[in-house]
Amino acid sequence: MAQSSFQPRVHLEIESRLENVELAQLALQEALAELEVADDECYAIGAAVREAVANAIRHGNGVGSDKPVMIDLGVMGSEVIIRVSDRGPGFDPERLPDPRERENRLRPGGRGILIMREFMDRIEYSFFSRRGTELTLRKVLGVPLRGGIPQQEEKR
Protein backbone atom coordinates (compact mmCIF):
# COMPACT_ATOMS: atom_id res chain seq x y z
CA MET A 1 0.00 0.00 0.00
CA ALA A 2 1.78 3.13 -1.12
CA GLN A 3 0.65 6.15 0.85
CA SER A 4 0.84 8.31 -2.26
CA SER A 5 -1.63 6.12 -4.22
CA PHE A 6 -4.48 7.04 -1.93
CA GLN A 7 -6.55 9.71 -3.65
CA PRO A 8 -9.70 10.45 -1.68
CA ARG A 9 -13.08 10.90 -3.31
CA VAL A 10 -14.36 12.54 -0.16
CA HIS A 11 -12.39 14.66 2.29
CA LEU A 12 -13.84 15.92 5.55
CA GLU A 13 -12.17 18.06 8.16
CA ILE A 14 -14.06 18.34 11.43
CA GLU A 15 -13.56 20.03 14.76
CA SER A 16 -12.87 17.78 17.73
CA ARG A 17 -16.40 17.85 19.10
CA LEU A 18 -18.39 14.72 19.89
CA GLU A 19 -21.45 15.87 17.94
CA ASN A 20 -19.30 15.71 14.80
CA VAL A 21 -19.00 11.93 15.11
CA GLU A 22 -22.58 11.65 13.90
CA LEU A 23 -22.03 14.16 11.08
CA ALA A 24 -18.94 12.36 9.83
CA GLN A 25 -20.71 9.00 9.82
CA LEU A 26 -23.72 10.39 7.96
CA ALA A 27 -21.56 12.17 5.37
CA LEU A 28 -19.56 9.01 4.62
CA GLN A 29 -22.63 6.80 4.52
CA GLU A 30 -24.23 9.22 2.07
CA ALA A 31 -21.14 9.03 -0.14
CA LEU A 32 -21.21 5.22 0.04
CA ALA A 33 -24.91 5.17 -0.83
CA GLU A 34 -24.12 7.25 -3.93
CA LEU A 35 -21.64 4.55 -4.90
CA GLU A 36 -24.51 2.05 -4.50
CA VAL A 37 -22.83 0.21 -1.67
CA ALA A 38 -25.25 -2.32 -0.16
CA ASP A 39 -27.12 -1.24 2.97
CA ASP A 40 -25.51 -3.82 5.25
CA GLU A 41 -22.02 -2.82 4.09
CA CYS A 42 -22.89 0.87 4.51
CA TYR A 43 -23.97 0.10 8.05
CA ALA A 44 -20.79 -1.86 8.82
CA ILE A 45 -18.49 0.81 7.41
CA GLY A 46 -20.48 3.55 9.12
CA ALA A 47 -20.23 1.77 12.47
CA ALA A 48 -16.45 1.43 12.08
CA VAL A 49 -16.07 5.08 11.02
CA ARG A 50 -18.06 6.18 14.05
CA GLU A 51 -15.63 4.38 16.35
CA ALA A 52 -12.58 5.66 14.47
CA VAL A 53 -13.72 9.29 14.59
CA ALA A 54 -14.81 9.06 18.22
CA ASN A 55 -11.38 7.67 19.18
CA ALA A 56 -9.60 10.37 17.17
CA ILE A 57 -11.55 13.06 19.02
CA ARG A 58 -11.46 11.55 22.49
CA HIS A 59 -8.07 9.88 22.64
CA GLY A 60 -6.20 11.55 19.77
CA ASN A 61 -6.88 15.28 19.81
CA GLY A 62 -8.97 15.51 22.97
CA VAL A 63 -12.61 16.65 23.10
CA GLY A 64 -12.90 20.37 22.44
CA SER A 65 -9.31 20.68 21.26
CA ASP A 66 -8.64 23.08 18.40
CA LYS A 67 -6.92 20.30 16.46
CA PRO A 68 -8.96 18.95 13.54
CA VAL A 69 -9.79 15.37 12.60
CA MET A 70 -9.42 14.56 8.91
CA ILE A 71 -11.46 11.83 7.25
CA ASP A 72 -10.81 10.61 3.72
CA LEU A 73 -12.78 8.09 1.71
CA GLY A 74 -11.33 6.41 -1.35
CA VAL A 75 -12.08 3.39 -3.49
CA MET A 76 -9.70 1.02 -5.25
CA GLY A 77 -11.60 -1.44 -7.39
CA SER A 78 -14.15 -2.93 -5.03
CA GLU A 79 -12.24 -1.96 -1.89
CA VAL A 80 -13.34 0.95 0.25
CA ILE A 81 -10.50 2.71 2.05
CA ILE A 82 -11.08 5.22 4.80
CA ARG A 83 -8.37 7.17 6.54
CA VAL A 84 -8.97 8.98 9.82
CA SER A 85 -6.19 11.28 10.98
CA ASP A 86 -5.71 13.15 14.21
CA ARG A 87 -2.84 15.04 15.80
CA GLY A 88 -2.52 12.74 18.80
CA PRO A 89 0.79 11.25 19.91
CA GLY A 90 -0.31 7.69 19.19
CA PHE A 91 -0.32 4.50 21.22
CA ASP A 92 0.50 0.82 20.90
CA PRO A 93 -2.64 -0.98 19.72
CA GLU A 94 -1.09 -4.34 20.61
CA ARG A 95 -0.90 -3.37 24.28
CA LEU A 96 -4.59 -2.61 24.65
CA PRO A 97 -6.48 -5.10 26.80
CA ASP A 98 -8.85 -7.43 24.95
CA PRO A 99 -12.35 -6.30 26.02
CA ARG A 100 -13.69 -9.81 25.39
CA GLU A 101 -11.59 -11.35 28.14
CA ARG A 102 -13.63 -12.16 31.23
CA GLU A 103 -11.69 -9.76 33.47
CA ASN A 104 -12.26 -6.85 31.05
CA ARG A 105 -15.90 -7.37 30.15
CA LEU A 106 -17.24 -4.95 32.76
CA ARG A 107 -14.93 -2.13 31.78
CA PRO A 108 -16.99 0.77 30.45
CA GLY A 109 -14.63 1.45 27.52
CA GLY A 110 -12.09 -0.11 25.22
CA ARG A 111 -14.37 -1.73 22.61
CA GLY A 112 -14.00 0.69 19.69
CA ILE A 113 -11.05 -1.02 18.00
CA LEU A 114 -12.66 -4.42 18.42
CA ILE A 115 -15.81 -3.14 16.67
CA MET A 116 -13.74 -1.62 13.85
CA ARG A 117 -11.85 -4.88 13.35
CA GLU A 118 -15.08 -6.84 13.30
CA PHE A 119 -16.82 -4.63 10.73
CA MET A 120 -13.86 -4.01 8.43
CA ASP A 121 -11.44 -6.40 6.70
CA ARG A 122 -8.33 -4.64 7.94
CA ILE A 123 -7.41 -1.71 10.12
CA GLU A 124 -3.93 -0.28 10.37
CA TYR A 125 -2.49 2.46 12.55
CA SER A 126 0.44 4.62 11.49
CA PHE A 127 2.10 7.10 13.81
CA PHE A 128 4.05 10.13 12.67
CA SER A 129 6.04 12.35 14.99
CA ARG A 130 4.96 15.58 13.30
CA ARG A 131 1.52 15.01 11.88
CA GLY A 132 0.08 12.57 14.40
CA THR A 133 -1.91 9.36 14.02
CA GLU A 134 -3.44 7.89 10.88
CA LEU A 135 -5.87 5.02 10.97
CA THR A 136 -6.61 3.27 7.68
CA LEU A 137 -9.69 1.07 7.46
CA ARG A 138 -10.28 -1.24 4.49
CA LYS A 139 -13.20 -3.31 3.36
CA VAL A 140 -13.65 -5.27 0.14
CA LEU A 141 -17.26 -5.15 -0.91
CA GLY A 142 -19.27 -8.15 -1.98
CA VAL A 143 -20.41 -6.43 -5.14
CA PRO A 144 -18.07 -4.20 -7.18
CA LEU A 145 -18.68 -0.49 -6.69
CA ARG A 146 -20.56 1.48 -9.27
CA GLY A 147 -17.77 2.88 -11.41
CA GLY A 148 -15.39 0.78 -9.34
CA ILE A 149 -12.31 1.21 -11.50
CA PRO A 150 -8.87 1.75 -10.05
CA GLN A 151 -8.79 5.28 -8.82
CA GLN A 152 -5.57 6.20 -10.57
CA GLU A 153 -7.28 5.61 -13.93
CA GLU A 154 -10.22 7.65 -12.86
CA LYS A 155 -8.03 10.70 -12.28
CA ARG A 156 -7.04 11.12 -15.93
| b/e 39-62 (16+ beta carbons within 10 angstroms → b) | eebbebbbbbbbbbbbbbbbbbbe
- Tell which one of 111, 126, 145, 151 touches another protein (CB under 8 A): 111
- Total of chain residues touching another protein, rule CB under 8 A: 21
Site string for another protein, 88-107 (x = CB under 8 A): -----------xx----xxx
CA torsion 61-5-1-54 (nearest 10°) is 20
Q: Are strands 79-86 and 69-76 parallel, antiparallel or unpaired?
A: antiparallel
Does residue 54 belong to the site contacting another protein (CB under 8 A)? yes
Binder of another protein out of 14, 28, 50, 72 (CB under 8 A): 50
30 near another protein, rule: CB under 8 A: no
User: 77 and 149 in contact (C-beta within 8 Å)?
Assistant: yes
At 100 the three-state DSSP class reads: coil
39 binds another protein (CB under 8 A): no
Q: Which of 12, 14, 21, 81 binds another protein (CB under 8 A)?
A: 21
Residue 13 or 39: the one with the smaller Cβ distance to another protein is: 39
**Spatial CA neighbour of 25 closest among 15, 8, 12, 7:** 12
Q: How far is the CB of 125 from another protein (least distance, A)?
A: 17
- The least distance separating another protein from the CB of residue 119, rounded to whole angstroms, comes to 9
User: Using alpha carbons only, how large is the chain's radius of gyration in Å?
Assistant: 16
Contact footprint for another protein (CB under 8 A): 18-19, 21-22, 43, 47, 50-51, 54, 99-100, 105-109, 111-112, 114-115, 118
